[in-house]
Structure 1
Amino acid sequence: MSGLSALPHSTPGASSPWPGRVAALDWAQATDDLHTQGHTVLPQLLSAEECTALAGLYRQPGPPLFRSRVVMQRHGFGLGEYQYFSYPLPDMVAGLRDALYPQLQPIANHWNAAMGIDVRYPAQHADFIARCHAAGQLRPTPLLLQYAPGDYNCLHQDLYGEHVFPLQVAILLSEPGRDFTGGEFVLTEQRPRMQSRAEVMPLRQGDAVAFAVHHRPVQGTRGTYRVNLRHGVSRVRSGQRHTMGIIFHDAE
């Protein structure tokens, strides 16, 4: 059985399992984490079997599953590679994207209001994607990343165009200590007139981390100000590491 056929697919007329699974997470805690620190762990979002099936898709390069492959070293992004999915997305990828968005949308709108940004995000992901496509952002952005020994991902932000949803999600598909060593997910936060602060996220296979794409509001003694965030992956020391990234805006 191929990796693609091993993924759970919805049958015509059947309801997707992802809204219920995502809604069952502790969103009160996740919302508090995002407001206070700009990131949160969503534990065991995927099973080990689902992670293995998704990681196995990387062995199916190019169309129709993927629209492009990026070798990081060629662009100065680090070492390693990743592939962007094509439309139509696999059911699991599309289902997770659509189910996670409504949980994060109120946080995104709160952040923009606090930072004095006029943009607001619609309740449903399909409506936001329609906004992206109307502006010429037509290319899907969910992706699979693959790292081998010595590979790493430089600190960066996934912006892609004028319309940016301010949160994204990364899901670790490999098991630390068994499949790979090193390769920690790293976030840095730069506050005005202060040194950058780094945080390493202790993820297990199937865990997801939701985090700020670009900036988030922080309440200071003189009002609200913006802090700038970047994310990356430290050097993999052994084995192979796979991750899926879910970005909610499309690319130009």
Structure 2
Amino acid sequence: MSAKSVVRTATSGALTPEARVSEYDWPALGRELDAYGCAVLPKLLAADECRDIAAMYPDDNHFRSHIHMARHGFGKGEYRYFKYPLPHLLGELRSALYPHLAGVANAWSARMGLEQRYPEDHATFLKRCHEAGQTRPTPLLLQYVAGDFNCLHQDLYGDLAFPIQVAILLSEPDSDFTGGEFVLTEQRPRMQSRAEVVPLRQGDAVAFAVHHRPVQGTKGNYRVNLRHGVSRVRSGMRHTLGIIFHDAR
């Protein structure tokens, strides 16, 4: 599906996060998520916003922890989890994106026969997370240099997890870095894994399934397992903003 089919007008950094998020054709994005487990939101952030967020990486004041992937067998590269209060733009984007994805999440739960339902607003969902002992913020900023990669994984930080998350590419491919493609894999029962490589430009976001999603089969819906990662960066430096909607223990 082309970018024109999922967004009505070009996103401008002058728009509020809520206004720019509302510009997208969310029914079309929902169909993309249903069909492929992922959907691209072109130009969610302006180039200057991308640069400003990436520039936060060295500043400890914004973050609660710093992870070196190789130490944990996650791949090679590093990332930092933001602390509360989140930077204003990040917090506003998290709140603005959530309601549009909650409808997809609830439809998926129903199709998979799960009891879990998600409230319409993010504040209510976060309250549920905190009541379940999941109080640490999960939005993160990732940094890769040449030779770095992120192994296929799932971002589950507790019993309560929102089934869709968003990643925003902050760097410009072929200018800031080469390689480093976003990869999503899907394992269907009794079938080999299927890979989806998602091309992104600076400021583009991809919404994708965190863990499971439903697929319509000949005998009804069945559940498939998904993992995501980043292929090897060949040159330069790549920054990504990850927006996870549930908090962690």
Amino acid at match of 1:32: R
Q: Does 1:48 align with 2:29?
A: no
Amino acid at match of 1:169: V
Amino acid at match of 1:48: A
Matched with 2:123 is 126
- 1:153 aligned to which of 150, 153, 156: 150
Counterpart CA distance in 2 for 1:34 and 1:181 is: 27
Counterpart CA distance in 1 for 2:62 and 2:199 is: 30
Matched with 2:169 is 172
Describe the SS at the equivalent of 2:55: helix
Q: Does 1:212 align with 2:209?
A: yes
Q: Does 1:240 align with 2:240?
A: no
How many pairs are equivalent? 236
Counterpart CA distance in 1 for 2:232 and 2:25 is: 31
Amino acid at match of 1:224: N
Deviation (angstroms), 1:29: 1.4
Deviation (angstroms), 1:186: 0.3
Q: Does 1:200 align with 2:200?
A: no
Q: Does 1:188 align with 2:185?
A: yes
Q: Does 1:224 align with 2:248?
A: no
Amino acid at match of 2:28: Q
Q: What is the RMSD computed on CA atoms of the aligned residues?
A: 0.9
Matched with 2:105 is 108
Deviation (angstroms), 1:35: 1.1
Percent of residue pairs bearing the same amino acid type: 67
Amino acid at match of 2:35: T
Amino acid at match of 2:66: R
Task: Give unpaired runs (5+ residues) of structure 1.
Answer: 1-7, 9-15
TM-score w.r.t. length of structure 1: 0.92
- 1:135 aligned to which of 132, 135, 157: 132
Amino acid at match of 2:165: Q
Counterpart CA distance in 1 for 2:192 and 2:62 is: 42
Amino acid at match of 1:35: D
Q: Does 1:18 align with 2:17?
A: yes
Please list every run of at least 4 consecutive aligned residues from structure 1 whose deviation after the TM superposition is greater than 4 angstroms: none
Matched with 1:32 is 31
Deviation (angstroms), 1:18: 1.0
Amino acid at match of 2:51: T
Residues 33-65 of structure 1, C-alpha deviations (whole Å, 9 max, x = no match): 0111110000000000000000000021x3x31
Counterpart CA distance in 2 for 1:28 and 1:161 is: 30
Residues 58-101 of structure 1, C-alpha deviations (whole Å, 9 max, x = no match): 021x3x31000000000000000000000000001100000000
Deviation (angstroms), 1:25: 1.1
